Structure 1
């Protein structure tokens, strides 16, 4: 009875770890795809988008697609993105242009400019934290597997001694 319970717990922990690692890999893959699309939209095609009057409000990594929000959504604008990026990889939605508010609740001063170096440092720090958290996840998973193997070894030894 105890052996079945421990075996069930061990299998549950192992399956949980395996599924978590798979989801993480998929998410990482989608973040990379989003970065590629951001490069295309905000750097390579920014002039073309501006000439067409298309404003991209956001991109977001979903489970299996990249969401692209555009202001003044029309089917023609959406089709432009589907032709450019492929329908299987993106979903186009209506987006709203963000407006920054000042401390008084009114629109923020347009003279405020984001410091790109600070933003890049923040992104690098986030990437480092993400890598560190993935290391912790893998070490934890390895620990669960070693612990499970130890429990299985002890249980097998006990059953062999009794038998």
Structure 2
């Protein structure tokens, strides 16, 4: 296990100095799920929710969250993202919506936190818009699926646990 980089020699939290790191193309993908009642998912997929297009609003919220990640997570660097995508896919057979996010930039630090913020906020927005009809929804499985770029290279949940390719 590597040393914790957000702690200085005295054990105090600090923002990591990335000024000497090489600029590389960095990409991160994350996912999450919102599980709900079949009737709630039907309202969303049939466009009958009285609050409008739930998936479109959640998508925009996720994109905005990625751009604001450093405002939410204290030691994250403000980043100039070049691409953010948020896809919400109803999985009717599982009574849930799958959220897939991707963040990309050319920079000195990774974008995993931005991808996670996008997935989390999209899920929270979906919950917020549907809570009046289904307070029992569950947000699950938020995780990084893949990261590329930087000194550590490429990592994916499809590779062996903790291995780089």
TM-score of the two chains, using structure 1 as the length reference: 0.28
Kindly indicate whether structure 1 or structure 2 has the higher relative contact order, using CA contacts under 8 Å at least 6 residues apart. 2
Which structure carries more helix by proportion?
A: 1
Which structure carries more strand by proportion?
A: 2
TM-score of the two chains, using structure 2 as the length reference: 0.28
